[in-house]
Chain A
């Protein structure tokens, strides 16, 4: 923390941007400057490209970047989760090797957590890493892997000990994706898109120094990654906006965003597109229908209160402390919004709700809303898991009796994956 006031920092960053920002710089060249100066990730520690400022100051600095029209460090994709995890648990070597190339956008990352046999129960992972001849040898399968098809590195949760309790036998690795033992295949969803991958490991190799934290610490480290994911730090929604202005840095950033976000074009639809509701009600002539008006008002209420609660949580967080379980309220709330929005859009569309593609209203956007919203209450932790987290961590209710933590993982009943 610094003694400087908000006003002082604001004028400092403003002056720095005026002196340094040039849209004709190459993207990487500009981001290297950002990393050098500390203004690219001001909330990071001073020894690692940052300035050690609070989240609140970070948002203020974001505003100044927006004002100046300056491109930021790379923020899309899983790389932010990787950076947050490496900052919290990585070795000095990890930080030296990976952080800068995350900021410049030269490296992409993916998160290798979920498996066909362990979704909500992530700690039940059965992908194994075995030490053979001073290397970790990985075998198994991951699923729902965002961006694996163009990632250089993966954050891997794998089982290294089968004779201890499930959470204790996991370790966390950084895996080089671009190797023979890793096979990335697309996974098609109910809305027709294939935004995620399945990743198969057949004797994939990890050098011992790419274990993150200690052997058996995998669950603890993964929790850091997940906490940041629930805060929405994957940036897939927030920073997906390219600047349509001339300039080399803008052009290269637009290309990066397009490349990174192409598989997620439907993401706005999965949130329910509340922004379209009034316009659609007008177009369909249903804005005067009292029943429809009630449902729209309920939706707007859910949507507004979700925003306001998030702002309250953020204001509270600004008074200090790491990301806590309040992040889980927002996710549950967003599910309610998405579900309600799908109902309202169906109501507004009538028979058109039976159509898809360009036969569906708004060039298929409506159909895409209707078949994408179920993702919101599943992805990144189902509503049911969110409710467990809220009731246990916030409300301090007891955990359900479990049958998987009191014995070696080897003896725990689990899904049989073919």
Chain B
């Protein structure tokens, strides 16, 4: 671990920050969050084609940039900071990473280049109405139509919920199980076209309007297997841990931005004849926030690097980073609202945009209690 970004990585971050400050000011966030698509097509084209961000961690052989999770983490941190409205997490983080972990060579060659180029927006549908983030919660069934040999087609039945950008994605990677199987056994991944017969999609009313969620109903939907039949448990678990690291990095970007806006505001706001930032009651909160956000950043950065180095403890660190980011982002949002006083509770003030992202991110992929328990299990043995 070198605990420091290289000059190239810092330069990359600067380029992204400038781009996102320009393309994703809160006026744009507010405009896009009211739309069903939740994304500006021209900005998305630039993200994909001009900056190549959709393929940042996808190997060059599959049309990507061939970087690692540290670079992907930088992208996410900056997008989290700017609250970019785009299907990036769904397509690049969840769907592409699943295919990288589970797919055959042929499937990677087929599915990844369009995702890397941004021509296809994909997502991963794994959670169901029970809201569980692990494979134990999977009830959706996949029935093979043939005699069980490769090349069979499969039929999916059941419901997926809390699917990120599930109403707008054109390809959906689905986790389902062999009828009658439980736990890690019998799980497989499938690719489903969004316009497949029997697939019903309903956009959910998400509290965070910048993070679109959908509920998908599958009635005899035909699907193509990804990877090995019954072999999805390991690559899926790996994907979720990797996604947790990515989300932690996205979250610390938002938390850091909130922290800055809070401090800026306390310098502007005058009460009792002085800037409220001169009161120790406020200053001490600001110092605590800085410590918490910097700690969560350390965890997120460390986790991304551990993942790239494939250290033995990276899954434990992934859970630590997600738990830490969940608590920190939410706490920072609460304190930022508090430091703004009454205006912080208004719709016109931008704080609630990050507050809601903090809330949805807190729960997404498992809350801090869930991840602390995972961390304990992973570090104990």
A308 contacts B3, C-beta separation under 8 Å: yes
Report the separation of the CA atoms of residues A203 and B233 in the bound assembly, to the nearest whole angstrom.
Answer: 79
Other-chain contact of A401, B278, B283, B288 (Cβ < 8 Å) = B278
Stretch at the interface among B169-177, B213-221, B298-306: B298-306
Which residues in window 45-100 of A have CB below 8 A to B? none
Q: Please, which residue of chain B has its CB at the minimum distance from the CB of A335?
A: B291
Give the shortest distance, in Å, between A294 (CB) and chain B (any CB). Answer: 5
B263 at the interface (CB under 8 A from A): yes
A298 at the interface (CB under 8 A from B): yes
Chain B interface bracket (under 10, 10 to 19, 20 to 34, 35 or more): 35 or more
Give the shortest distance, in Å, between B255 (CB) and chain A (any CB). Answer: 13
A312 at the interface (CB under 8 A from B): yes
A120 at the interface (CB under 8 A from B): no
Given contacts A312-B301, A395-B263, contact A290 B373 (CB under 8 A): yes
Can you list 28 pairs linking A and B with CB atoms under 8 Å apart? Answer: A287-B380, A290-B373, A293-B376, A294-B373, A297-B320, A300-B379, A305-B299, A308-B301, A308-B302, A309-B298, A311-B1, A311-B3, A312-B3, A312-B298, A315-B3, A384-B284, A387-B288, A388-B287, A391-B277, A391-B283, A391-B284, A391-B287, A394-B290, A395-B263, A395-B290, A397-B286, A398-B274, A398-B275
A397 contacts B373, C-beta separation under 8 Å: no
Residues in B whose Cβ lies below 8 Å from that of A386: 287
Other-chain contact of A301, B3, B263, B294, B299 (Cβ < 8 Å) = B299
B83 at the interface (CB under 8 A from A): no
Interface string of A272-295 (1 = CB under 8 A from B): 000000100000000100100110
Given contacts A308-B299, A312-B298, contact A399 B369 (CB under 8 A): no
A151 at the interface (CB under 8 A from B): no
Other-chain contact of A332, B2, B275, B287, B324 (Cβ < 8 Å) = B287
Report the separation of the CA atoms of residues A315 and B301 in the bound assembly, to the nearest whole angstrom.
Answer: 13
Interface residues of B (CB under 8 A from A): 1-4, 263, 266-267, 274-275, 277-280, 282-284, 286-288, 290-291, 294-296, 298-299, 301-302, 320, 323-324, 369, 372-373, 375-376, 379-380
Residues in A whose Cβ lies below 8 Å from that of B279: 400
B369 contacts A294, C-beta separation under 8 Å: yes
Residues in A whose Cβ lies below 8 Å from that of B3: 308, 311-312, 314-315
A333 at the interface (CB under 8 A from B): yes
Given contacts A298-B372, A300-B379, A400-B278, contact A391 B286 (CB under 8 A): yes
A305 contacts B290, C-beta separation under 8 Å: no
Report the separation of the CA atoms of residues A305 and B293 in the bound assembly, to the nearest whole angstrom.
Answer: 10
- Mostly, the A contact residues are helix
Residues in B whose Cβ lies below 8 Å from that of A309: 294-295, 298
Residues in A whose Cβ lies below 8 Å from that of B298: 305, 308-309, 311-312
A397 contacts B283, C-beta separation under 8 Å: yes
A301 contacts B277, C-beta separation under 8 Å: no
Interface size on A, residues (CB 8 A): 40
Report the separation of the CA atoms of residues A394 and B290 in the bound assembly, to the nearest whole angstrom.
Answer: 9
Report the separation of the CA atoms of residues A185 and B295 in the bound assembly, to the nearest whole angstrom.
Answer: 41
Interface residues of A (CB under 8 A from B): 278, 287, 290, 293-294, 296-298, 300-302, 304-306, 308-309, 311-312, 314-316, 319, 329, 332-333, 336, 384, 386-388, 390-392, 394-395, 397-401
A297 contacts B286, C-beta separation under 8 Å: no
Residues in B whose Cβ lies below 8 Å from that of A387: 280, 283-284, 287-288
Give the shortest distance, in Å, between B204 (CB) and chain A (any CB). Answer: 29
Q: Please, which residue of chain B has its CB at the minimum distance from the CB of A398?
A: B278
Given contacts A297-B372, A391-B284, contact A312 B4 (CB under 8 A): yes
A388 contacts B373, C-beta separation under 8 Å: no
Q: Which 7 A-B pairs have the closest CB atoms?
A: A297-B372, A391-B283, A308-B298, A305-B295, A387-B287, A390-B287, A398-B278
Give the shortest distance, in Å, between A391 (CB) and chain B (any CB). Answer: 4
